Every structure is written in C-alpha cells, then in structure tokens.
Structure 1
Amino acid sequence: MSLLHPKRALTALVPLYVSRFGCIGPDCEDNCCTGWRVNLDKKTFNAYRQAKLPALADRLEHQVKRQRSQASDANYARIELNAVSRECPFLEQRLCAVQRDLGEDYLSNTCATYPRASRDFNGQFEQSLTLSCPEAARQALLQPDAFDFVEAPLQVRVGTFDVIKPKLGLSLSAMNEIRVFCLQLLRTDGLELWQKLAVLGVFCERLTATLQQGGHAGIPALLQDFVVMVEEGLVLDALRELQPNHEIQARVFALFWQGKVGGRLSSGQQAVQHAVARGLGADPETGQVTEQELVARYHSGLGRLAEALQAAPQLLEHYLLNEIFRDLFPFQGITPYDDYLKLISRFGLLRLMLAARCNADSELPSPLELSQTVQVFCRRFQHDPNWAAQVNSALRNSGWDGLEKVYGFLRT
C-alpha cells in the first residue's frame, strides 16, 4: 500500500534537545489543535475528500474548506475551527480523530511536522523546534546540554523541508560562517548575555554596511576582527560604561505586550497572561498601568528574575540560541541589522514577561513556570506573522532603531 505522505530517512545536524523531543499528546498542558489556522496541502485535501469513514464524513465535508485566495499546493485548503472554542473540529478528548481513525499518514503537513522545522542548507540537513510547544520549550530551555550540536537520524516527510538559497549576494558557505560565528558568540564564556547581544549588534550593523557597499570579499576579515575582539577582551573595555535604562525598557516592551492583551486563550495561556499583568500592576483585560507603577514593578521584577534564573541559568541564552539557529539568523530580515532588531524585540518583550512573572506572587516561579512563560510568549507573539514587522516599524518611526539607542534595551 503506497503512503499518502512518504518519508525520507536522513541524517541531520540538530541541537541535542531536538533528538530527545517527543510529543506527549494528551498529557500536554497546552493544545496545538486550538486557536491556530490549520492549512492543508493539496494531497491531504484530496485524500479527505475520498475518505469513506462515517464517523468523520460530516466533518470532512463541512469543516474542510478550499482556500480560494492565493492558494498553492502547500496552502490548498484549511480546517474551519469551532467558532466558539476555536478548537479543531477533529479534536476529541485531546486526541486527533483523523490520526486515530485514518492514521498518522493522513495528517496534513502542518499537523504532522509541528513543532519541527527542517531544511537543507548547502547539502547539510538541519532540524529545529519552535518553543511554542511546551515540551519543546522544556527540553530546549532547562537542559544544560540542550545546545550541544549532534548528528541524528531522522524520518522527514518528502517536501516538508526548505531548501535554502544564497541570500544578500553571499555564498551558502559564507552564510554558514556568519551563522556559526553568531552561535559561537552567544556561547562564549566570560561575557554576560547583554554583552554578547551588544557585540552581535555591532557585528550585524557592520555586516549590513559591508554588504550594502559591495564588500563581500571582506567578510572573512570582518569575522576575524570580531573573533579577535572577543578573544582579547576588547569587548569589555568598549561596553564598560554602558548603563541599563529600565525606564525605557519597561515603557517600550510593555507597549508591545499591551498590543496583544485579551483574545481567546487556553486556561494555561490565560494563567500566564494574568500573572504577567499582576506582576506589572496592570489590568489583566486591558493591560493598562501607570508609568510610575510599571517602571517600579519592572525594576523589582528584574531583581527577582535574576534570583529565579539561578535555578535555570541557561534559559535566556538557550532561547536566543534556538531563535538564531531556527530562524537562519541573520538572514531572515531585509538586512542583517533588521534581523537583529527583530531578535532584540523578542528578547526584550520576553524578559519583561519573565520579570513580571517573577513579581506576580510572593514565591519565585520554578524553572518549569519560567519555561511555560517562554512557551506562551512564543505562541502569542512569534506565531503572529505581522508582529515582528510592526515592532520594527514602531522602533524606526520612534527613532529607537539606531544601535546606540538599542543598547539601552540590553543591560539588566
């Protein structure tokens, strides 16, 4: 019997946590079958139309709709969610009825691959996970060796991995050298995380200028300059006078957070959102808070966050490493510096939410609760395709996109 979605066996470069990951199904505290648009590829849609199964027939006929605008083979149809609960109509007792009755092969590519993202980069296969999945977040954020890179055997559906093309006039090998430098910088011992991010900003700014001036041949020398800068400790001298600006951090990132307060949330997501609001002294329904209260609560929360992170010291660094590896950083923006702004926006908002979570109750949150906060942040903000662009636009329009201003966002 031929498979609807054949798989390919391959060896991929992965962070160690990816090789440990497995979906925990109905035991998961969140639900990837609720609240998100579920796209269907053409092959799956046609299979649903041909399926002869009385238990699913009505839903397959009426809840699966053709995509009439900008359709493609990958985005050919969609599953209509329940208008009230926003759940997938095939969800029964926290299990998928399609998988139960037809088998895993009948899952759409969207459902079968989440939270995995696979790609072919210059002949090397890679796989990462999105941390909007609670179990993926725990594995990535709480295990000290999660970002030791290994080669692992994988089974990947044919057609579900991206083939990366050269970008910005760079060869794939040059792009890879830049990616490796960024990952190694984040793992450098002897530097605080904010210092690593500051150096990354200077590098992305210089890289952007070099590419815009057609100086592609100078990329190896640029990389070497920054390696020397880090190895010889010149970074510490350059950043010694940089001071934190908690007022600006609180005002800017709380504004971004307020933009997505409310909406339909699962009970777990709502608990996190309410804890963040409580920690900021904000109204949980509107996010409104006085500036004085906001800044004071944020400052207090940062101190408590430092205490909480003693039990999970790698959490923020691992979050950033995952974003850099998963998003092909710094090649997903218009320029490397544009991609850097997106990274800092995510980091700044996440730090605000974590600090607020630490302020919400008398007891500090556990590492598992910190991981849950990251997961909810990723689900609420990073899965919104417009959010990053809106944030970058807001920073530019307010004059906060220059590196000297961005520095104020970094140090805690």
Structure 2
Amino acid sequence: MGSAPTYPTYAGAFRCIGASCEDDCCHTWTIPLDKNTYRLYQNFPAEKLGSVVAEYVSVKTAETHDNLFAQITRNDSGACPFYTSGRLCGIQEEYGPQLLSSTCSIYPRVLNLVDSRLEGSLSLSCPQAARDVLLFPNSTQVVSDLLSGAFRTDNYFTLASNGAGHVHKLYAAFHDVRRCMIALVTDRSRPVWERLLLIGSLCKQLDEIPTDGAISKVFAILLDYHGVVGTERGRSEMENLPTDLALKLRVLFKFVSERAQDKTCGTRFLDTYWDFVAGIGSSEGATPSEDVERMRSAEEFYHRPFFEERPYIFENYLLNYMFRTLFPFGRARNADFVPRSIFDEYILMATQFAIINGLLIGVAGHFKEGFSEEHVVKTIQSFARELDHDPMALDSMVEFMQKTNLGNLFGISILLKN
C-alpha cells in the first residue's frame, strides 16, 4: 500500500504573537522543567531572577523522567512567576530564548518522533495556533523546518508501546492506517458526521484483529475502506444509525456545564459557555422539546451554512488532532499517558468533536448572522485549553461514554448526527 508516509511539519511555521495574544500560556499551568534547564536556572544571580528560582522552582522527587525533573509553580495570582507586567517571559527577556524550558520553548508546537523522524503539529489551546490550523485551507500540509533552531526539539512524544499491560496494535501499519484516515477525513462526498462514523467503524475492525493477526489483515481492511472514499458505499447504513437530539443535548449540557462549574475554568471558556447557553439554553418556563427545536434551528440556519462555506475548518481540526495524538494508536512519553485501545482512542476523538460541534451550534444560534471565524477560534481554543489543564477530564470522558452505553458506534451516532 504504497505512497510515502505523511509527516506533518507545519508546526515549524508557527510564530508567537506575544503580548498581542488575547490569552496567554503563563496562567493556571504548573510548568514542568527538564533537568538540564533546572541546573542552568540554579546559576541565576539573585538579582537576575535567581530569587524567583529559589522560591518557585522545585524538584519533583517522585519523577524520574529528565524532561519532568522539576517544576515552576504558580504565584498567588495563578501566573508563572517569570511572567512580566508587559505580558512577556522574564527569562526570555533577561537571558534569551535558549534558556526557556523545553515546554515553554516548544509550546504550542507538539513534537512526535515516528520512525526516527520528527513530526510537528499544534496544540489548539493557543489562540494563534488555532487560527493557523483552522482558518486556512490545507494548513496541515504546510512544509516547514522543525530543525531550524527556533525552538527546542528535545521534548517529544512517541507511539504508545505494546509493552506489558498495554493494548496490542500493529505498528508496522501505522502510516498505512494514517493515509486511510486522511482519505476518510477529507472525503467531501459525505457530511463530516458520516466520515467520523466510518472512521469509527474502521477503528472497531482494527481493534478486533487478533494479537497474532497477520499484517495482511490490516491491509485488506484498509483497502476496503479506501474503496469507500468518494462512493455511495455504506451510505444507507450510516443514515440508518440512530439520532436522538434530546439525549444529545443532555449529554452536551452535562459535559460543558460540569467544566464551566469547575473552579479552575478559564474566563474564555466561561464566555463560550454562556454564548452557547444563550443560543440554545432554556428560557424560564421553556420545555426540553423547545431547547431541542432551538438547537435544530441554530444548526440549520446558522451553523450548517457557515461550515458548508468553509469545509476545511473541521477537516483541519480532525487532521491536526490525528497528527498531534498519533491517532488512532496513541502517544506515550508523557506523565499523563494512559494506554487505550484503538477504539477507545476513537471514542475520545469523536466525543471531543461532538462537544465542540455542539458548542458551535449554540454559539452560532446566539450570534446568528454575526457568527464568525473568530467565534470558531475562541470556542475550539477555549475548550482545548480546558482539557490541556485537566488531563483527568479525558479519562472521565471515556469512562462516562462507557458507563452510559454511548461508547459504541450507536452512541457516537447520537452525538454526531443532527
């Protein structure tokens, strides 16, 4: 199954807009510090940030990984103690970008090492990164230099291992699986929800291959799904999968309201939440069926026309997600790694997309003809930032879907179809 592997490098083109950014990456995060940078910080004179290092930088005694050796804790205002009144990094101002921690130097770039080659995608928790990815056709095909020296490259993720206690995946087929996923995501002969359900069906079949299964079985499955692209195959089966807008709305409210009520919730997501509520949420005395009708109307008159004119937005989101997370195999080499099956990786992706799409329907219903690309950026960025700040939220998301019997193609169909 022939052509060369797809290695994303578009992260190298990202440029931080600094103090002009409407959000910042220096609040509410405890920043990990690699061992080498920690040792360099110990040499700072007291009058040149050394006193700040002494107070706020500490070794993580329970951690053995060099990239997670120490941490920079937040000050009383919830900000990085090196964050200046000019909304810039004090370390970068005083010592230059080469003294930034690997986390600060790389963010919002996400680096993965696959087959000894570096890949670079973007975290959409950064507003400018979200613009770069979402708003331009073919944004994930931009070719740039990941080894330019403009940022560090010593902190990267890898494909999740097949080691003891981990789920089995046929890694020899990774690039072939990725090519098939890309073909399905970009198949504009189908609505996005249908493409995602086809991807779910593919993930389910890949998961069901026995651990001693031959690689030829994977290739046969992929060949079959490549044959679906651009055709009517499977259309009737997808259309016959269930819809339940009332249940979809209840699940959506459950996820977003819990996040909004969390004490760590950021103001940008709270803004998005209330815009969503204004577009769909019940007015006093309204019935649940009226909420559903408002959602249906917002999707039909404001959300759908907007995205039909910009089909690349959701495609870019999904491709970036796949590159960033090494979907559907998963990525390791971080403190929050959880081994998941291929289908559980799919449930995680599809659920996040369903929540984002539901939020966008509500926001579109609120702003109506004024719904814009900046509303899309803010909605997706603020949601991504909430998940980046709370890794446990991903585990609870998968757990909820499984416990409520929604963690299957029928359940995902309910969340995705309009």
Q: TM-score, normalised by structure 2?
A: 0.86
| Larger displacement relative to structure 2 (264-273 or 308-317) | 264-273
Instruction: Give yes or no for contact 1:20–1:139 (8 Å, CA) kept in 2.
Output: no
> What is the Cα deviation at residue 294 of structure 1?
4.2
Q: Specify the alignment match of 2:156 in structure 1.
A: 161
> What is the Cα deviation at residue 393 of structure 1?
0.9
> What is the Cα deviation at residue 160 of structure 1?
1.6
Q: Specify the alignment match of 1:23 in structure 2.
A: 16
Distance 2:346 2:160 in 1: 20
Unaligned runs of 5+ in 2: 1-5, 331-338
Q: Which structure shows the higher strand fraction?
A: 1
Matched, 1:14 2:14: no
| Larger displacement relative to structure 2 (395-404 or 87-96) | 395-404
> What is the Cα deviation at residue 310 of structure 1?
4.5
| Larger displacement relative to structure 2 (330-339 or 262-271) | 262-271
Mapping 1:268-287, distance limit 5 Å? 268-281=268-281
Q: Specify the alignment match of 1:5 in structure 2.
A: none
Identify which of 292, 296, 307 aligns with 1:295: 292
Q: Specify the alignment match of 1:192 in structure 2.
A: 191
Identify which of 318, 322, 325 aligns with 2:320: 322
Cα 1:57/1:24, change in 2 over 3 Å: same
Q: Specify the alignment match of 2:393 in structure 1.
A: 387
The percentage of counterpart residues that share the same residue type is 26
> What is the Cα deviation at residue 69 of structure 1?
2.7
Mapping 1:82-161, distance limit 5 Å? 82-83=75-76, 85-92=77-84, 93-148=86-141, 150=143, 152=145, 154-155=147-148, 157-161=152-156
Instruction: Give yes or no for contact 1:67–1:77 (8 Å, CA) kept in 2.
Output: yes
Q: Specify the alignment match of 2:349 in structure 1.
A: 343
| Larger displacement relative to structure 2 (350-359 or 132-141) | 350-359
Secondary structure, in 3 states, of the residue corresponding to 2:8?
A: strand
Cα 1:145/1:31, change in 2 over 3 Å: same
Secondary structure, in 3 states, of the residue corresponding to 1:160?
A: coil
Which amino acid counterpart does residue 363 of structure 2 have in structure 1? R
> What is the Cα deviation at residue 402 of structure 1?
2.3
Instruction: Give yes or no for contact 2:130–2:377 (8 Å, CA) kept in 1.
Output: yes
| Larger displacement relative to structure 2 (252-261 or 240-249) | 240-249
Q: Specify the alignment match of 1:3 in structure 2.
A: none
Distance 1:354 1:264 in 2: 22
> What is the Cα deviation at residue 239 of structure 1?
2.3
> What is the Cα deviation at residue 316 of structure 1?
1.8
Secondary structure, in 3 states, of the residue corresponding to 2:327?
A: coil
Distance 1:321 1:170 in 2: 21
Q: Specify the alignment match of 1:258 in structure 2.
A: 257
> What is the Cα deviation at residue 214 of structure 1?
3.2
Aligned length: 394
Q: Specify the alignment match of 2:384 in structure 1.
A: 378
Mapping 1:389-408, distance limit 5 Å? 389-408=395-414
Secondary structure, in 3 states, of the residue corresponding to 1:58?
A: helix
Cα 1:190/1:139, change in 2 over 3 Å: same
| Larger displacement relative to structure 2 (210-219 or 39-48) | 210-219
> What is the Cα deviation at residue 405 of structure 1?
2.7
Instruction: Give yes or no for contact 1:14–1:150 (8 Å, CA) kept in 2.
Output: yes
> What is the Cα deviation at residue 244 of structure 1?
3.4
> What is the Cα deviation at residue 211 of structure 1?
3.8
Instruction: Give yes or no for contact 2:189–2:231 (8 Å, CA) kept in 1.
Output: no
Cα 1:67/1:292, change in 2 over 3 Å: farther
Secondary structure, in 3 states, of the residue corresponding to 2:326?
A: coil
Secondary structure, in 3 states, of the residue corresponding to 1:180?
A: helix
Cα 1:126/1:274, change in 2 over 3 Å: same
Instruction: Give yes or no for contact 1:15–1:128 (8 Å, CA) kept in 2.
Output: yes
Cα 1:367/1:54, change in 2 over 3 Å: same
Instruction: Give yes or no for contact 2:43–2:50 (8 Å, CA) kept in 1.
Output: no
For residues 241-274 of structure 1, the C-alpha deviation after alignment (integer angstroms, 9 at most, x for no partner) is 3453221211112211122113345554443233
| Larger displacement relative to structure 2 (111-120 or 360-369) | 360-369
> What is the Cα deviation at residue 23 of structure 1?
0.6
> What is the Cα deviation at residue 149 of structure 1?
5.4
Instruction: Give yes or no for contact 2:138–2:312 (8 Å, CA) kept in 1.
Output: no
Q: Specify the alignment match of 1:44 in structure 2.
A: 37
Cα 1:301/1:335, change in 2 over 3 Å: same
Distance 1:148 1:214 in 2: 33
Cα 1:71/1:335, change in 2 over 3 Å: same
Distance 1:163 1:189 in 2: 31
Matched, 1:64 2:57: yes
> What is the Cα deviation at residue 382 of structure 1?
4.5
Cα 1:74/1:354, change in 2 over 3 Å: same
Cα 1:160/1:267, change in 2 over 3 Å: same
Instruction: Give yes or no for contact 2:259–2:265 (8 Å, CA) kept in 1.
Output: no
Instruction: Give yes or no for contact 1:308–1:367 (8 Å, CA) kept in 2.
Output: no
Instruction: Give yes or no for contact 1:121–1:172 (8 Å, CA) kept in 2.
Output: no
Superposed CA RMSD: 2.5
Cα 1:361/1:240, change in 2 over 3 Å: closer
